[in-house]
Each structure stands twice: as C-alpha cells, then as structure tokens.
Amino acid sequence: MTSITVPTTKARPRRWPPAARTRAGLLALPLGWIALFLVLPCALVVVLSFFERGTYGGIDYIFTLENYGRAADRLYLGILLTSLKIASLVTVIAFVLGYPAAYLIATAPARWQKLLLVLAVLPFWTNYLIRTYAWIVILNRQGLINGLLSWLGIASEPVDLLYNEFAILVGLVYAYLPFMILPLYAAISRLSPDLIEASTDLGAAGFTSFRRITLPLTVPGAAAGAIFVFVYSMGNFITPDLLGGGRTVMVGNLIYDQFLTARDWPFGAALSFILMGLMMALLSLQAFLVNRARRMGTYD
C-alpha cells in the first residue's frame, strides 16, 4: 500500500495554499448539509405555496396566489396574533426567570458552575413528549397541585390548571427556559469583574451598577435567548394540543393541520413561508440591535 503514489496531484500546480484547502474541505460538508437539508426544503416550500390543492389532496401544478390571499383572512390573522401573544409572554417570563438563574450560575464558585449548568439542561435528556405528559400529571384536576391544595385546605373545588392558555404558557416556559439561561450565562460570565469594581468605586451602589453596567452589557445575550425562546414557541404545536387541550390554535397547529389533516400542502406551505419571513425579519432586527450595541462599544 505504501508504495502507491498519487502522481496527478504532484503534477498539478497548487492554486490554493494547503490551509485554505483544509478550510474549504472542512466547510464543504456543513455547507453541503445546509444546502441539502435546509435551503432545498425551504425552496420547495416556497415553490409549493404557489400551486393549487388537488381534489384528492395532491398538488395541481397550476400557478395561483390564492394561498396567500387565504392566509390574509381574519381567521388566520387572529391565530397569528394569538401565537404572537403567547410566544411574547413566554419570552418575557423566561427572561424574568432565566436572568436571575443565569446570574447566579455565572457568579457561583467555579466548581459549582458546571454542576448548575448540567442541572439547567438536564430536562433535555428526557423526550419532550414525556416531559409534556408529566405536566398533565402535575396540573390536572386530580393532579399533584390540586391534591396539595385540597390537602392544605386552600381549595375545596379543584382549580382548572390544565387545558387552557395558562397550561400552554407553563409548558412552553418550562421547555425553553434553558435556551434563555445558556446565552445569558455566557454573556454574564464574560463580563469583567473589573467593570463592576470600577463602577462601585465610583459610587454606584449594587443595584445601580447592575442596572447601568451589567444589564446593558448582557443585552446581546438576552436578545439571543429571547430569539430562541420566541421562535421555538411560535412553531410549537405539541404543547397547545396536549396541555392546551386543543382549545387554543397556534400557528404551528395550523400548519400541522394543513399538512397532516387537510392534505392541503400548498396552503400549509404558504403559511410556513409567511412564518419564515416573519422569523427572518425578527432575526435581522436582533442582529441589527446587537451590531449597534457592538458599535457603541458596549459589548466585548
């Protein structure tokens, strides 16, 4: 085997330096992956959205804008607004809960940090569906919370905690909280203690230092976490179905239903494309804000 040489490569003049070739080689795989499994399906979705549903659920290749016209209907706009409301609430709650958690982890002694981070992502080791069912056990009328309330004598009648928007909020916040904690942790732990020390030396009390130094400097981390939580919440359809009892329809459910119940792929594709556009706009806004923060010298 060792006697085999490859003459062709030696004869050819090298156009690229070896480092660049390695880089190109390393990039080719992920880029190819993205092209094949992200760009191509998205392109298919866009193309599909301009055709008609066949009578029996296939696709009739007749160009139409009807799917977009239908999407502008009040019914679907209402569902979009409900989803935006729920996803925004989830994001705010996740921030309020996630910031102190991230702050505590980042400022804990180094040997505790790893353990706390593992605890924060521990739920991901269990299947999402199982974790959602666990909430049913906790929240239902005969569930743990209602059992506790009646045992303590606080509530004589069971409280309705399940199959409503409250349950959806609980499920989504629980599921996506780690996505808020991790980027915030990264941002907070990167802050130099010197900054706080300087601020304190200059007379800013604890909370003022936090408000004027720590909080503004961790905005990009919060923005990254917020985008994660918001985007995932918008697309989720399992939680509204199981914890919401199917009584609240979110955009994710609407799209799921078009593909898997109505067999109306073109309309589902149009809805997906609109959702993607909306998410792209939000991501661009986030990138813009982070860049501005960088330019103003408040970051890194």
Partner 1 sequence: MTLRLTRKAAIGLAFACGLLLGSGQASAEKIVISNWDGYMPADLLANFTKETGIEAEMSVHATNEEIMGKVVAGGGKGYDVLFVSSPFVEALQNLKLIAPLDPAKIPNLANLYPEARALAYDPGNAHSVPYAWGTTGLCYRSDLVKTAPTSWMDMLKPSDDIRGKITMLATDRWLMAAGEKALGYSVNTTNEDEIAKTKALLIEAKKSLLAYDDTTFYSKLVSGEAVLVHAWDGWCNYGIAENAAIKFVVPKEGSDMWVDTMVVTAASEHKDAAMAFINYVLRPEVHRWVAENILYKVPNQKAMEGLDPKLIEQYPNIGMTPADLMKQEQLRDLGKAQKDYTRAVTEITSAQ
Could you say which of 34, 39, 148, 262 contacts partner 1 (CB under 8 A)?
262
Size of the site for partner 1 (CB under 8 A): 36
238 binds partner 1 (CB under 8 A): no
Enumerate helices (H) and strands (E) in the chain, giving the number of each.
Answer: 16, 2
For residues 208 and 261, which CB has a smaller minimum distance to partner 1 in the complex?
Answer: 261
For residues 4 and 72, which CB has a smaller minimum distance to partner 1 in the complex?
Answer: 4
Question: In the bound complex, what is the minimum distance in angstroms from residue 57's beta carbon to partner 1?
Answer: 6
The interface with partner 1 within residues 38-57 (CB under 8 A) comprises: 53-57
Looking at residue 272, its amino acid is S
Name the packing angle between helices 219-235 and 165-190 (round to 10°): 150
Residues whose CB falls within 8 Å of the CB of residue 57, separated by 6 or more in sequence, listed in order: 263, 264, 265
- Do 98 and 177 touch, CB atoms closer than 8 A? yes
135 binds partner 1 (CB under 8 A): no
Question: In the bound complex, what is the minimum distance in angstroms from residue 10's beta carbon to partner 1?
Answer: 10
78 binds partner 1 (CB under 8 A): yes
| 3-state secondary structure (DSSP) of residue 53 | strand
For residues 13 and 109, which CB has a smaller minimum distance to partner 1 in the complex?
Answer: 13
79 binds partner 1 (CB under 8 A): yes
- Do 113 and 104 touch, CB atoms closer than 8 A? no
Chain-centroid distance of CA 100 in Å reads 20
Question: In the bound complex, what is the minimum distance in angstroms from residue 186's beta carbon to partner 1?
Answer: 35
- Do 182 and 225 touch, CB atoms closer than 8 A? yes
Piece in contact with partner 1 (CB under 8 A), picked from 99-107, 116-124, 194-202, 263-271 = 263-271
- Do 249 and 76 touch, CB atoms closer than 8 A? no
172 binds partner 1 (CB under 8 A): no
3-state helix, strand, coil in the chain (%, to 5): 75, 0, 25
Interior angle at CA 278, CA 180 and CA 70, nearest 5: 135
32 binds partner 1 (CB under 8 A): no
Question: In the bound complex, what is the minimum distance in angstroms from residue 158's beta carbon to partner 1?
Answer: 10
For residues 140 and 233, which CB has a smaller minimum distance to partner 1 in the complex?
Answer: 140
Burial class (CB in 10 A: 0-12, 13-18, 19+), 188: buried
Question: In the bound complex, what is the minimum distance in angstroms from residue 239's beta carbon to partner 1?
Answer: 13
For residues 53 and 101, which CB has a smaller minimum distance to partner 1 in the complex?
Answer: 53
254 binds partner 1 (CB under 8 A): yes
Instruction: List the structure tokens of 211.
Output: 């408000």
Question: In the bound complex, what is the minimum distance in angstroms from residue 32's beta carbon to partner 1?
Answer: 14
64 binds partner 1 (CB under 8 A): no
| Rg of the chain (C-alpha set) | 25
- Residues in touch with partner 1 (CB under 8 A): 4, 6, 9, 53-58, 75-76, 78-79, 82, 140-142, 160, 162-163, 245-249, 253-254, 257-265
